[in-house]
A = this chain, B = another copy of it.
């Protein structure tokens, strides 16, 4: 496996990239305990987007890992997870946003956030903020207790843990290094991304 393009995503920022059908996307946590949000659109028709709802339904589980497909709102496979050394990801939450930091942390002003970073990263593909829905919360360690309540714990990742997805259509992709302390054990670090053909 020879990486053809690599991206280094600085802490609390994002990157946008085009991915062709059949190419692989590897998302790497270089230091450990860092979450990445992954949002994607059919590059040829951006009204077709990643769908948490269909992916959870068709896989019959909240926790996606190797062998599972991620589906679009039109029920087409968008990605297949072909490798996963982390083993735990979330797919429930919209990206952290300015308003989230205001509501949940009473943070005044503009805190760095995944929604702004995805919006900026996807703008070259004519994707606007409101088109972004629940991304795949890569490496997010969410617990669902028997009564349905939710808790976020530090990611299970150590340095170098990664997940690899095969693109099942031509995609516009946004990836972030998550900006919310709570999700990343209160230390926001970088994310590396590799795109390769096989």
Contact = CB atoms under 8 A, between A and B. Distances in A.
B130 A103 contact: no
A133 interface: yes
Given A60-B149, A150-B56, A133 B133 contact: yes
Contacts of A20: none
A87 B54 CA distance: 24
- The number of times this chain is found in the oligomer is 2
A93 interface: yes
Q: How large is the interface on A (under 10, 10 to 19, 20 to 34, 35 or more residues)?
A: 35 or more
A114 to B, nearest CB: 11
A94 B92 CA distance: 12
Contacts of A56: 92-93, 150
A175 to B, nearest CB: 17
Interface of A: 47-49, 51-54, 56-58, 60-63, 73-76, 92-94, 97, 99-100, 102-104, 128, 130, 133-134, 144, 146-151
Given A47-B128, A51-B94, A56-B150, 7 more contacts: A52-B53, A54-B94, A54-B100, A57-B100, A62-B149, A73-B130, A75-B102
